[in-house]
Amino acid sequence: MWFFKPSEIAKIGMKIEENGLAFYRALAAKTEEPEAKTLFNFMAGEEEQHYKTFEALADKLQGYDISTFEDDYEDYMRDLANNSVFATDADPVAIAKGVNTVAEAIELALGFEKDSVLFYLQFKKMVPEEEKFGVHAIIDEEQKHIHQLLTIKKMYTTSREEFYIPKGDYGDAEI
């Protein structure tokens, strides 16, 4: 028997989008760069729409059973949720305030968007066929966000190496 119900996983999606909204709003308020401010405001609006989509999906999925999945798949979904910053209780505004450059903000945003795509791709497998289109549409939009972030990242990096090798705190890793 699964611990998570699909409606609860949709609520995790809501949390991811809610935290993304707060993160992008904080970045937009913080940055002075017009292109970055425009992008971060756009991304905040997108996250708000995604939240509403997941909210409606959570209602539709009440009582839906997913007993056809193996228990290890539930563990995988739980691990994905626990390792996504936006699915946890981390403070997205504090994260945004800790950012020092637009390039650093974009790098963080890219990681968050990629985490979201991975989570939503797995979640899509759990919803009824007639609801997959909604999750798929959000995945498509998240992938467009990644492309937009990569496009603007080019404006804020000075070399090919800087573009491909992110700078930031990676613990003990040598980069």
Each residue of 51-80: pLDDT tens digit?
998 898 888 888 776 666 666 777 787 788
Instruction: Return phi, psi of residue 118, to 5°.
Output: -60, -45
pLDDT given for residue 20 in this prediction: 92
- Assigned domain for 148 exists: yes
Residue 172 has pLDDT above 50, yes or no: no
- Assigned domain for 50 exists: yes
Q: Which has more pLDDT, 170 or 9?
A: 9
Measured CA to CA in angstroms, residue 24 lies from 20, 49, 97, 158, 166 at distances of 6, 14, 11, 24, 19
Q: Which has more pLDDT, 65 or 127?
A: 127
- Assigned domain for 173 exists: no
The structure's pTM equals 0.80
Domain count, the chain: 1
Measured CA to CA in angstroms, residue 172 lies from 103, 105, 129 at distances of 21, 21, 44
Task: Work out the burial of residue 66: count CB atoms within 10 Å of its CB; fewer than 13 is exposed, 13-18 middle, 19 or more buried.
Answer: middle
pLDDT given for residue 163 in this prediction: 64
- Assigned domain for 45 exists: yes
Domain holding 93, by residue range, is: 6-164
Instruction: Enter the tokens of residue 121.
Output: 């791709």
- Assigned domain for 103 exists: yes
| CATH code, domain carrying 12 | 1.20.1260.10
Each residue of 2-11: pLDDT tens digit?
455 777 778 8
Mean pLDDT of 137-142: 87
- Assigned domain for 142 exists: yes
Measured CA to CA in angstroms, residue 74 lies from 13, 40, 57, 81 at distances of 15, 33, 19, 11
Identify the band that residue 89 occupies on the pLDDT scale cut at 50, 70 and 90.
confident
- Assigned domain for 100 exists: yes
- Assigned domain for 98 exists: yes
